[in-house]
Amino acid sequence: MPSTQQVRALQALSFMDLTTLNNDDNRKVIEDLCSRASINEKSVAAVCVFPEWVALAKQFLKEQGLNTKVATVTNFPDGSSNVERAAAETERAVAAGADEVDVVLPYRALLNGDESTPAELVRECKDICGDSVKLKVIIESGELEQHDKIVLASELAISNGADFIKTSTGKVSVNATLKAAEAMLGVIKASQTDCGFKAAGGIRTVDDAVRYIELAEQLMGEDWVTASHFRIGASSLLQDIQKILVKA
């Protein structure tokens, strides 16, 4: 009988977007990431890589007999206000075979009082993704800081077609926090849509992951917390999961 910690570790694994988004990523790094996408025949929800590595990741996972999704990022990490750039990058990502696209909302524009550019960017990217590719919108909650700005960014993303809203790029000083997660989950609940939630950045242990899982269960109900609605973006978390699940 698995322990409670092992059960939670398996949960965290099933919700995980196993990620590498470093400028020095290469073929070996991507193949190594994909080779670690399953433990004891249980797979992560997705692997997340830069667009130029999507095709390699998909091929490698297929060769391993895994149906794991491949996610990528666009308008990343700066959250530019250039809608054409974000749309072009998203088109390329979809053409490369990405199952999911994590696009950065132009959060600085929002902080400057511009709501129309972020709304347009999400709308354009969702039109490109259509129904077959999930669009996850990164609001960069640590940079927005204030509760009302986090709520506004979440509402804008959802109302313009986001399939998920995501806390962070993992490339700023403050990434996922429970406070931001609570605000974002509250917006999802109030929206009465099928939008999902992804916490990313700084989640390094199963105990960290469990705090977000329990918060989502509390606010949205246990039945809601599945990989179709809930994700954790991380890289180092896998090491802690492995320690727990591969114990002698």
Q: What is the 3-state secondary structure (H, E, C) of 91-119?
A: HHHHHCCCCEEEEECCHHHHHCCCCHHHH
| Average pLDDT, rounded, for the chain | 97
pLDDT at 157: 98
Residue located via tokens 């009988």: 1
Please give the positions annotated as active site.
102, 166, 198
The pair of structure tokens assigned to 10 is: 């398996």
CA–CA dist 114, 202 (Å, integer): 29
The enclosing H or E element of 210 equals helix 206-220
What is the spatial distance between Cα 198 and Cα 123, in angstroms, rounded to a whole number? 19
Q: What are phi and psi of 149, to 5 degrees?
A: -75, -40
For range 204-229, the mean pLDDT: 98
pTM of the model: 0.97
**pLDDT tier at 248, thresholds 50, 70, 90:** very low
Please state, in angstroms and rounded to a whole number, the distance separating the CA atoms of residues 37 and 157: 29
pLDDT digits (tens, 9 = 90+) for 99-128: 999 999 999 999 999 999 999 999 999 999
pLDDT at 32 over 50: yes
